[in-house]
Amino acid sequence: MNTLRQASISISIIASALALSACGGSGSTAAPSAPVYPATMPVSINFDLLANGGVAKCGTPISGLGSRGTTADLKDARFYVSNINLIDANGKQVPVTLTANDWQNEQVSLISLIDGTGTACGGTTLPTNAVIVGTVPGAAYTGISYEIGVPETLNHTDYATAAKPLNVAAMAWSWTSGRKFLKLELNPQGGVNVVRTNTTTTPATTTTSNAATWNLHLGSGGCTTNATTGAYSCTNANRMQVKLANFDYTKQKISLDLNALFAGSDLTTDTAGAAGCMSGTTDDECKAIFNAFKIDLPTGNPTSAGVQSVFVARNK
């Protein structure tokens, strides 16, 4: 009888424990509730320049740049950003609605990272902008995509009459009737050795000169206007596509890595075209630059040859 009584008591205890568990009693763990997001959330996307693991800026020489490890002073650093999307947990690209201000309109934002510090950078204090601001629908976001460039519908407007941020004379590109999408200029110590070979003479002759600045100007090429409609068209769009699959705008910023961008470039020598790369399809100095941008130099179209590593996500 004792054995049967003990078994009955044990069964009763087990049943009671199961009942408590089913009712959320002591020891139970409630399933975590899904996060609740507002209908609209503000978003701020921060940018800076990166060199040798730290922030690059005017007035401080940057060492170890390019294929020859050149030291150079920053002269200019600005770029237009458009078609900005955050990427949600399902991989869907969700457009960022830009907040209009002096640095951005509803379609494009100008990032300007030159503060005027130092002789090379102008020597006069300049306003800067390192952030894009806007709103997105409330949700969890894990990445970002955007374009370095001005939308075609805005690119050929007259900068002299355009509203901000498209009214910047330094970003206008007169011979292509558009804008410089990205403008990076460096003054290498010792200057740029400009070498030109004339193959029309027998024997061929070579001349050399020195330029102070290595210019990188990214913009559309092969642009012409329709004599009847006045509309522009360009054979080479040259808009850089950027996608960072892992980016948290609340904790991270986006850095333009100068070491990665100029890794294949000799900043001390120039052999064709203007000193540096101005998006010319036959400019030898543009080959390494466009490869870093993942833009096909002959056509101006994005390439599928790997993922760009020029823009990187870093902790704020």
What's the Cα-to-Cα distance from 240 to each of 169, 181, 237, 310, rounded to whole Å? 22, 9, 9, 11
Strand 97-98 vs strand 214-218: parallel, antiparallel, or unpaired? unpaired
pLDDT of 198 over the 60 cut: yes
Contact indicator for 10, 94 with CB cutoff of 8 Å: no
Of 216, 210, 181, residue with least CA distance to 76: 216
pLDDT for res 10:
46
17 assigned to some structural domain? no
1 assigned to some structural domain? no
212 is in which domain, residue-wise?
Answer: 39-315
298 assigned to some structural domain? yes
The pTM score is: 0.88
Per-residue pLDDT tens over the stretch 254-274: 999 999 999 999 999 998 778
pLDDT of 244 over the 80 cut: yes
59 assigned to some structural domain? yes
Arithmetic mean of pLDDT, 153-161: 92
226 assigned to some structural domain? yes
Alpha-carbon span 80 to 192, nearest angstrom: 27
Per-residue pLDDT tens over the stretch 270-316: 987 789 999 999 999 999 999 999 999 999 999 977 789 999 999 99
What's the Cα-to-Cα distance from 294 to each of 220, 301, 306, 314, rounded to whole Å? 15, 9, 8, 21
- The amino acid at residue 299 is T
Alpha-carbon span 225 to 231, nearest angstrom: 5
pLDDT for res 220:
95
Arithmetic mean of pLDDT, 19-39: 65
* Structural domain count of the chain: 1
15 assigned to some structural domain? no
Q: How confident is the model at residue 32 (pLDDT cuts 50, 70, 90)?
A: confident
116 assigned to some structural domain? yes
Of 174, 176, 104, residue with least CA distance to 146: 104
